[in-house]
């Protein structure tokens, strides 16, 4: 969740996932059996978002800037990221309905998810254009805000009986996500001292809170005739939501403080966006006779590096990202094309 600040994804996942599962088991299913299983699972959005934001807060450094060269995305990487968005968009209805046992409610959740995803997508495209200075779409908005509706609906996917309610919820979630990334992120992140590289707060954090609030409102509406059940049910839902939020903030703070220990040998702030600290970045290509190579695209983490072709032996060569000028990003199809001087055979 804390993404590119340092390569702590593995540590974060191994801490976050057990904590959330333990919270679901002990906090919802046992202590509060009235919380349905599929509703408890939707707390993962809320828990994961604020867990990561709290870790980011503990790792924040004033010298970090959102304009860091190696943090910027590139057109090719954006296009590949959209593939993940499409995958999630298609399968989100099955995620929202996975733990619902009743057949009628399961289909209700599936239909509502399609309604909410469609309207959140419309909101994402519309407000992305509206908030752009030149009236163009932002790939970051499309990648994230199109999924915000599914996040918001998760709590009440099977309880909404009118399609227009799901559509309004999707419109609100998509709007909150885009406006948050476009208008609030640059101002709110420095104020809160967090470095939200992927807009987690506006893709999962705020939409999940919105969905939780709507879920409580729907409970109050559905039990308006039974006052004895009304207050208790609403109190249970609000308590479960608050428990998820508090545990995510506390466990995120504890994890962040642990990661700041010298035991983990964390890199200096100047190396926060360098993959070379943890990964080998050599790229190997095959040679068949004379190979004409022109590098037109490198991953975002290599943009300030240098490229050098080293012939390792017959039939192989390595690209070393240590010394080479910056290159302009172009179509992936034109990465390799014939050019000037041939590479000598080994």
Indicate the range of 47-56, 79-88, 295-304 predicted with least confidence.
295-304
What's the mean pLDDT when you consider all of the chain?
A: 72
* Residue 66: per-residue pLDDT: 55
* Residue 280: per-residue pLDDT: 73
CATH class of 74-251: mainly alpha
Is the Cβ–Cβ distance between 252 and 23 less than 8 Å?
no
Measured at the CA of 266, the angle between CA 263 and CA 270, to 5 degrees, comes to 160
Q: What pLDDT, in 10s, does the model give residues 164-189?
A: 999 999 999 999 999 988 888 888 87
101-138 burial code (b ≥16 CB/10 A, e <16) = eeeebbebbbbbbbbbbbbbbbbbbebbeeeeeeeeeb
* Residue 167: per-residue pLDDT: 93
Question: What is the maximum span of the chain, computed from C-alpha positions, in angstroms?
Answer: 84
Give the start-to-end residue ranges of the domains of the chain. Answer: 74-251
Q: 283: part of which helix (H) or strand (E)?
A: strand 283-286
pTM, two decimals, is: 0.68
* Residue 175: per-residue pLDDT: 93
Whole-angstrom distance, CA of residue 252 vs CA of residue 244: 12
* Residue 229: per-residue pLDDT: 65
The sheet that has 316-320: what strands, in order across it?
Answer: 283-286, 316-320, 308-313
**How far from 8 is each of 19, 158, 227, 255, CA to CA, in Å?**
16, 36, 48, 10
Q: What pLDDT, in 10s, does the model give residues 108-159?
A: 889 999 999 999 999 999 999 998 888 888 888 898 899 999 999 988 888 8
Per-range mean pLDDT, top range of 172-181, 235-244, 274-283, 303-312: 172-181
Of residues 227 and 178, the one with the higher pLDDT is 178
Whole-angstrom distance, CA of residue 324 vs CA of residue 306: 3
The 3-state DSSP class for residue 137 equals coil
* Residue 124: per-residue pLDDT: 93
* Residue 232: per-residue pLDDT: 75
- Three-state SS across 183-241? HHHHHHHHHHCCCCCCCHHHHHHHHHHHHHHHHHHHHHHHCCCCHHHHHHHHHHHHHHH
Residue percentage of the chain with pLDDT more than 90:
18
Closest CA to 321 of 307, 309, 303, 335: 307
Whole-angstrom distance, CA of residue 315 vs CA of residue 289: 8
* Residue 168: per-residue pLDDT: 94
Is the Cβ–Cβ distance between 121 and 179 less than 8 Å?
no
Indicate the range of 83-87, 99-103, 123-127, 278-282 predicted with least confidence.
278-282
Indicate the range of 12-16, 86-90, 120-124, 222-226 predicted with least confidence.
12-16
Q: Is the pLDDT of residue 336 over 50?
A: no
């Amino acid at each position: 969740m804390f993404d590119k600040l340092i390569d702590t994804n593995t540590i974060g996942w191994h801490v976050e996932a057990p904590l959330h599962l333990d919270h679901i088991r002990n906090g919802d299913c046992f202590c509060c059996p009235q919380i349905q299983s599929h509703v408890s699972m939707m707390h993962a959005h809320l828990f994961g978002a604020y867990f990561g934001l709290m870790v980011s807060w503990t790792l924040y450094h004033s010298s970090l800037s959102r304009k860091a060269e190696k943090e910027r995305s590139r057109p090719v990487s954006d296009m590949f990221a959209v593939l993940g968005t499409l995958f999630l968009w298609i399968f989100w209805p099955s995620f929202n309905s996975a733990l619902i046992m009743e057949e009628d409610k399961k289909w209700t959740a599936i239909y509502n998810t399609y309604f909410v995803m469609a309207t959140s997508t419309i909101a994402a495209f519309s407000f992305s254009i509206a908030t752009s200075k030149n009236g163009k779409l932002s790939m970051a908005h499309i990648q994230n805000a199109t999924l915000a509706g599914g996040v918001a609906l998760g709590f009440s996917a099977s309880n909404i009986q009118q399609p227009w309610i799901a559509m309004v919820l999707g419109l609100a979630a998509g709007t909150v996500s885009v406006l948050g990334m476009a208008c609030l992120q640059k101002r709110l992140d420095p104020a809160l001292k967090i470095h939200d590289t992927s807009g987690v707060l506006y893709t999962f954090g705020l939409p999940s809170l919105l969905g939780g609030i709507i879920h409580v409102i729907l409970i109050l509406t559905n039990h308006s005739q039974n006052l004895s059940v009304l207050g208790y049910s609403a109190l249970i839902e609000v308590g479960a939501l608050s428990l998820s939020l508090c545990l995510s903030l506390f466990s995120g703070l504890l994890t962040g403080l642990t990661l700041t220990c010298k035991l983990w040998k964390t890199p200096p702030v100047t190396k926060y966006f360098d993959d070379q600290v943890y990964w080998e970045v050599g790229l190997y290509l095959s040679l068949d006779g004379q190979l004409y190579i022109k590098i037109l695209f490198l991953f975002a983490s290599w943009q300030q590096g240098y490229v050098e072709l080293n012939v390792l032996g017959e039939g192989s060569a390595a690209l070393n990202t240590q010394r080479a000028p910056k290159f302009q990003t172009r179509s992936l199809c034109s990465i390799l094309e014939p050019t000037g001087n041939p590479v000598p055979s080994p």
